[in-house]
Amino acid sequence: GAGVSQSPRYKVAKRGQDVALRCDPISGHVSLFWYQQALGQGPEFLTYFQNEAQLDKSGLPSDRFFAERPEGSVSTLKIQRTQQEDSAVYLCASSPNRVEQPQHFGDGTRLSIL
Partner 1 sequence: AQSVTQLGSHVSVSEGALVLLRCNYSSSVPPYLFWYVQYPNQGLQLLLKYTSAATLVKGINGFEAEFKKSETSFHLTKPSAHMSDAAEYFCAVGGAAGNKLTFGGGTRVLVKP
Q: Rounded to 5 degrees, what are φ and ψ at 65?
A: -100, 135
Residue 78 CB, nearest approach to partner 1 (Å): 20
**Centroid of chain to Cα 109:** 8
Q: Toward partner 1, which CB reaches closer, 27 or 58?
A: 58
CB of 16 to partner 1, least distance (A): 28
Residues at the interface with partner 1 (CB under 8 A): 4, 31, 33, 35, 40-45, 48, 50, 55-56, 58-59, 91, 93, 98-99, 101-108
46 touches 67 (CB < 8 A): yes
Residue from 56, 52, 94 nearest 71 by CA: 52
* Least distance to partner 1, CB of residue 35, Å: 8
